[in-house]
Amino acid sequence: MKSLPFIDLVIVIAYLAGMVAVGIYFSRKNTNAEQFTKASGRIPGWAIGISIYATFLSSNTFLGVPGKAFGSNWSSFVFSLSMPLAAWVATKFFIPFYRSTGEVSAYTHLEHRFGPWARTYAVACFLLTQLARMGSIFFGIALSLQALTGYPMSTIMVVVGICIVLYTVMGGMEAVIWTEVVQGVIKTIGALVILYLVVSGVSGGMPSIIEIGKASDKFSLGTLAPDFTTASFWVILLYGFFMNLNNFGMDQNYVQRYHTTSSAKEAAGSVWLCVYLYVPVSLIFFLLGTCLFAYYQGNPELLQTIKMQVAAEKLPGGTSDAVANLAATLTPADYGDKVMPHFMVTKVPVGLLGLIIAAIMSAAMSTISSGMNASATVFSVDIYQKYIKSDLTPQQSLRLLYIATTAFGLLGMVTGIAMIGVKSVLDVWWMLSGIFAGGMLGLFLLGMISKSTRNTEALTATIIGIVVIVWMTFSTQLPDTYSYLRNPLHQNMIMVVGTLTIFLAGVLLTRLRRKQPVEKEVLLHSK
């Protein structure tokens, strides 16, 4: 970070050292697998709530949301508005269920319900979702820090990733939670500081920002028409509800935390605390994107620099004229993710810049560390101990968790490096998570709601759902000759339709199976 002023460099190094120190401190307590994965159930509910909030408030939110609001409008905020309903369902049904089972893995009960294939399928979907999440977050942090330091994005991912691996491996779940509490506070303060600096830089302040935002339709939540082919209000609301239901209801990141509290009541309270914090804070990030739009509207010469940077990245090795021509065609949606890093480089004063960098790091590290711990737990319980070796000693279980945590951290880094060059961090994450999570949630709801559904119906319904998800995802790539076979719905509907397909197909197949004996009996009597 040689381009940073000395005081900012000291702040960043102190932050990274502090996170590793937390891991070292808690490493003394990690004597068994239960402590590593559950923190022995001693964490207070308020700390769990802040840690869940910090996991939600990733670098996808910190950078992707302002970039999205800059490039379009506030339609993605509808995702946050869906959280209370999903939280209500999770606290009323899912948390009591998980607390009663006592299973650290969110997917063990699927085997009891439908057989080994269901557990394996859910685990595979979860691990793929985690890789997509960690990769997009690694990419997001590297995107901003590259602008601040000039270092290659891949180098930034490796350096930050090593720090995350160190404190997550050494400290386990307890270190993850307490570092997330600190990180949640730091990144909230960082967002407020950036918002203040942007507003103070706009001539006329907030009234002028509101006027510019209204003129450019920046405050729109999307069309209320029943349109499911675009990112309408209803598409984002449905996607948000199902995705948040997946997060609160069966994502190992969150389910694992429910076991770290002393009671189901505290676990439910932690979910509601997350909602109360995340909804207003996410609104701040959308407001920040609109404020940045107003700021650059008043400083178009600064915007030209961003356009040239993005155009140069899209045309590596291109001539200056070609780059300039491409820059002239770019829309706000093409360079939205670059705006906030550029503002930080040019306008954030010395001293505060180090705090902002620490906030961005916090946004990434909190989500990645919990993802690493949860992925390692699932791998250990649902794969290794299930299919490879079940009778592990306490020392072997702990060693396996250390190795798996490190491996998933490295895989997350590789995924992030592979994402370099994408258009929108938020769009990529939403698409990938919708693909992997849709089938998993549908199967889970089928098992919980339809008590009479058997293994055969569940497997058939899941296969049907996977076919639908694959078609909806990849049919857009079909040539024009087969355009009639393309998915007409918006990509965010993949999660919704995939979930409902598996659930409804399973219910229908169950009813058909139950109806057959009755029909046979009627035929026998008639004869």
Q: Which residues contact 328 (CB under 8 A, 6 or more apart)?
A: 307
Q: Which pLDDT tens digit goes with each residue over 126-154?
A: 888 888 788 878 887 787 777 677 778 88
Neighbouring CB atoms inside 10 A of 225's CB total: 10
Q: Which pLDDT tens digit goes with each residue over 273-306?
A: 999 999 999 999 999 999 999 998 888 888 888 8
Q: What is the value of pTM for the model shown? A: 0.81
Find where tokens 């991912």 sit.
157
- Cβ 267 vs Cβ 49: under 8 Å: no
Helix (H), strand (E) at residue 272: helix 264-297
Walk me through the domains of the chain, giving residue ranges and CATH numbers: 6-27+43-514 (1.20.1730.10)
How far is it, in rounded angstroms, from Cα 424 to Cα 72?
12
**Sign, Cα dihedral of 266, 267, 269, 273:** positive
- Specify the pLDDT at position 88: 95
Q: Which of 363, 443, 408, 444 is nearest to 182 (CA)?
A: 363
- Specify the pLDDT at position 473: 82
How far is it, in rounded angstroms, from Cα 30 to Cα 39?
9
Q: Which of 351, 338, 411, 410 is nearest to 145 (CA)?
A: 338
Average pLDDT value over all residues in the chain: 83
How far is it, in rounded angstroms, from Cα 258 to Cα 245?
15
- Cβ 85 vs Cβ 241: under 8 Å: yes
Neighbouring CB atoms inside 10 A of 286's CB total: 23
Q: Which residues contact 258 (CB under 8 A, 6 or more apart)?
A: 95, 98, 99, 264, 267, 270
- Cβ 140 vs Cβ 64: under 8 Å: yes
Return per-residue pLDDT of the chain as tens, 527 residues: 346 678 888 888 888 888 888 878 877 776 777 777 776 667 888 888 898 888 788 766 777 788 888 988 898 899 999 999 999 999 998 888 888 877 777 788 888 888 889 888 888 888 888 887 888 788 877 877 776 777 788 888 888 888 888 888 887 778 888 888 888 888 888 889 889 999 998 888 899 999 999 998 899 998 898 888 888 899 999 999 998 998 888 888 788 788 888 888 888 999 999 999 999 999 999 999 999 999 988 888 888 888 888 888 778 777 888 888 888 888 888 888 788 878 887 888 887 888 888 887 887 787 788 888 888 888 988 888 888 888 888 888 888 988 998 999 898 888 888 777 665 555 565 566 666 666 788 888 888 888 888 889 999 999 999 889 888 888 888 888 888 888 899 888 888 998 999 999 999 999 988 777 655 555 555 55
Q: Which of 55, 63, 58 is nearest to 424 (CA)?
A: 63
How far is it, in rounded angstroms, from Cα 461 to Cα 477?
25
- Specify the pLDDT at position 259: 81
Report the C-alpha dihedral over residues 379, 381, 387, 390, rounded to 10 degrees: 140
Q: Which pLDDT tens digit goes with each residue over 82-127?
A: 999 999 999 998 888 888 877 777 788 888 888 889 888 888 888 8
- Residue 378 burial (C-beta neighbours within 10 Å; 0-12, 13-18, 19+): buried
How far is it, in rounded angstroms, from Cα 518 to Cα 453?
17
Tokens, residue 485: 């076979």
Tokens, residue 419: 């994402």
Q: Which residues contact 445 (CB under 8 A, 6 or more apart)?
A: 499, 503
